[in-house]
Structure 1
C-alpha cells in the first residue's frame, strides 16, 4: 500500500513552488503548480532560442526531447518507441482516434457514462456521419463502469471501447484493468483517457491492457500547459493510419514518397515547442524521483480528509462515487450555483474548479446534476490549506 509523504518532505517540495505563496490552489485537476526548476528549464531553452535562433537551438535540444520520451515511457511502463509527445490530452486522443480510419454504418463504440465531453464530441462528429453508434456501458451500484455489463454488450460490430479512467466531475476511479482484460480477450481496440490519472496514480499500460492511453502534462504531473503524452502499443501501430502526416511523421524517401514511421512518432508533428518539452522532462523527472506510489498515498490521505469534513458541513453535499477514489473532490452548496461558489472562494484567494454537463454529459445527466464545484488536491496540499478551504465553504454554506 502507498504511504503518505512526510510533512518535512512536503515543506521542502513547496519551497520550490512560487504559486503556493500567492494562492491557495485547489484546482490541480485543471492545472497544477510547476516547480521553479520546471519553469527554469522552459526559460533556459527560450534563452537558447533567442541566442542561437529557434531552429539551431532546436537541433541542440533534440536530446532533451528524447529524454522526455524516455522518462514518459518509464512512468507508464512502456517503451520509448511507444510514446508520442503531443500538445495535450485531447490532441493525442483525437489523433489516435482519427487514425482508426473510416467508420461504417452499424459499427459500435462503447463508452463508460463518465466519458470526457471532448472525446464524445470527436466520436459523435465521426459516428453520426457514418451511421455508427455510441452506446453507454452501465455502471454498478457504486457508480463505476461495470465490466460484466460490458461483456454482455459485445458483438462483432463493436470496434472500440473507450474509457475515461478518472472522470473530471469527481473522485471516482474506474476499473480500467478489468475493462482491459475483456478488451484483450475479445481483440477489441481499447482507448484510455488518463488525463487525470497520469502523475496521480501508478500507470502500467501492460497491466491495463490498453492499446492507446492519453495523458497531459499540466495536471497531476505539474508540467507546462501545451504538453501531453500518448502511448500506443507497438503491436497496435500497424492498425493505425494517421489522418495527418508531415516530414517528421512520414518523411519522403528518394522517390518523393512518404514513409510512415513505425513508432508512435507517426502521430507527432514536426512543429512542437521544445521549450515545453524541456519543462515536461523536468516535471516527469520530479514525479519519478518522488515516486508515484508516494504521490498516490499523499493525495489519498488529503482527499479523504477533505471529503469527510466537507460532509459534516450543513448544506454541503459531497457528490463523489466509487470505491477507490482520486484527488478530485466534487460537492455542491445548497442555494448556490457552482460558479458562484468558485467566484466567492476566489475572492478569498482560494482557487477551485466548477464543471457543467458538457464535461461529462452522460454521467451528469444520469445523476440529475447540472453543475458541480470541484476541489482537487495535490500531494503538495497542506492541512492548513484544507482548513482554509473548509472555513471558506462554511462561510458560504451559512
Structure 2
C-alpha cells in the first residue's frame, strides 16, 4: 500500500488523528467528487434529470456491492443506513408464539430492541447463546440450542463495543445444516476486511457505507440470498417494491430491490459506490491485513502502559480496540484525546445490552484505526494514554 498517497487523497488525515473509523471513516477525495459532482448536476439540470443521466453509474452500485460481498447484483438492496436495511430483513419474517430467535451477547443494541419488540408482540422467545471461554459466541452451544422452534439466528459479525470477531463461517455451517435462516449484521466488518457471503453461509447480510468502507453517512445496503426471498414478506410495500396488477393486487419486484423505497439520495448512493470501488481497487485482502495489524499494534502498546487495561474479547480480533484508563472516566479520556486532535469515542452500555449484562465494563474508550492511519499516529495516542494514566 502507498500509505502516503492514500493519506494525500484523504483530506481529514492532514489535521486530525482519526481513530474513529468504527463510527465513521474519513471520506476520500474520490468519494467527495462523486457526491459533489452529482449534487452540482442536480442543481444544474434538476434532480430527476440528473438521476436519469447518471442511471448507469447508479445501477453499477449494485454490481460493485455484489463484488464486495461475493453475491449477485440482483441480491442487493440499497438503504439510507444499515439499521433500516437490517429492519427490512428482520421484519420481513413471520414469528408466532413459541418460535425462537437465537442471538449472541455481542449483538448490536438496535437489533436487540427489535428482537424484544417482536417477542412481546408475537410470543416468540429471544435466546442469548453464551460465549465460550475466549468471549466469542459458543458455536457448540449454538448447535445444541437450535431446534424445530428456531426461526432465526441473528448475529453481529463484530460488536460495536470491542475487537471481537465472531466465528461466522462456523455459525453459517451450523445454520445451513439445520435449515435455519442466518441474518448477519456486518456493519463493522464490511470494508475492514474481506467478507464473503458464500464462505460465511449467511442468508441475509446488512452493512453501512459510513464506517470502514469510508462512504458517506446516510448510506447502507442489504444482501439477501436469492433462494431465501420466497420465504420473506417485505414489511413495507410501495411503488419501488412491487407492481400493481391493475385490479386489487400486486406482484413483488424480482430480487432484493423489493425491499427498497423509491426516494433515495443518489449523491449518497454514488458516494458509497465510489468508496466500494476504491476498496476493491486497493484490495480487501490488503486492507484487512493492514487494518487488523494496526489494531494489534495499538492493543499491544496500550497493554504495556501501566494503569491502562484493554477489554477486547475473542480468539480473533480486528481493528477495533477498547481500553480504559484505570483512574479516569472514559468520557474524560476521550475528551482529553480530542483536545490533542485524536478522534476516538466511548462505548455505551445500552448499545450492547447482553454484553453489559455479563461484563460491567462499559463505557470504554473505543479506538478504531484503518489502513490509512500510521504507526506514528497510534504511538501518539498511546503516549497520551500514558500521560493520562501517569
Q: State if a TM-score over 0.5 links the two structures.
A: yes
SS at match of 1:78: coil
2:59 pairs with 1:66: yes
Give the gaps of 5 or more residues in structure 2. none
TM-score by length of 2: 0.98
Q: Is the 8 A contact 1:237 1:262 kept in 2?
A: no
Counterpart of 2:110?
Answer: 118
Q: Which secondary structure state, in structure 2, belongs to the residue aligned with residue 188 of structure 1? A: coil
Counterpart of 1:92 (choices 66, 85, 88) is 85
Pairing of 1:307-346 with structure 2 (within 5 A):
307-346=299-338
How many Å separate the matches in 2 of 1:370 and 1:300? Answer: 23
Instruction: Choose 383-392 or 281-290, whichever is displaced more.
Output: 383-392
Counterpart contact for 1:64–1:277, Cα < 8 Å: no
Aligned residues: 390
Quote the offset at 1:256 in angstroms.
6.0
Give the corresponding residue for 2:366: 374
Check the 8 A contact 2:78/2:260 in 1, yes or no. Answer: yes
Match of 1:140 among 112, 132, 140: 132
Superposed, 1:48-63 pairs within 5 Å as: 48-63=41-56
Task: Give the deviation of 1:89 after TM superposition.
Answer: 0.9
| Distance across 2 between alignment mates of 1:77 and 1:152 | 30
From 377, 388, 392, give the equivalent of 2:384. Answer: 392
| Equivalent pair of 2:193/2:291 in contact (CA under 8 Å) | no
Secondary structure at 1:251's aligned position in 2?
A: strand
The answer to whether structure 1 residue 175 and structure 2 residue 140 are counterparts is: no
TM-score normalised by L of structure 1: 0.96
Q: Does 1:208 align with 2:172?
A: no
Query: Residue 32 of structure 1 aligns with which residue?
Result: 25
3-state SS in 2 of match to 1:259: strand
Post-superposition Cα deviations, 1:173-193, rounded to whole Å, max 9, x if no partner, equal: 000010011101111111000
Q: Where in structure 2 are the equivalents of 1:9-24 lying within 5 Å?
A: 9-24=2-17
Segments of 4+ moved more than 6 angstroms: none
Question: 1:218 corresponds to which residue?
Answer: 210
Alpha-carbon offset, residue 335 of structure 1: 1.8
Shift of 1:253: 3.3
Which segment drifts farther, 110-119 or 60-69? 60-69
Work out which of the residue numbers 241, 265, 270 in structure 2 matches 1:278: 270
In 1, Cα distance between equivalents of 2:368 and 2:356: 18
Asked whether 1:149 is paired with 2:137, we answer no
Q: Deviations over 1:212-238 (max 9, x none)?
A: 000110011000111112110000000
CA RMSD of aligned residues (A): 1.0
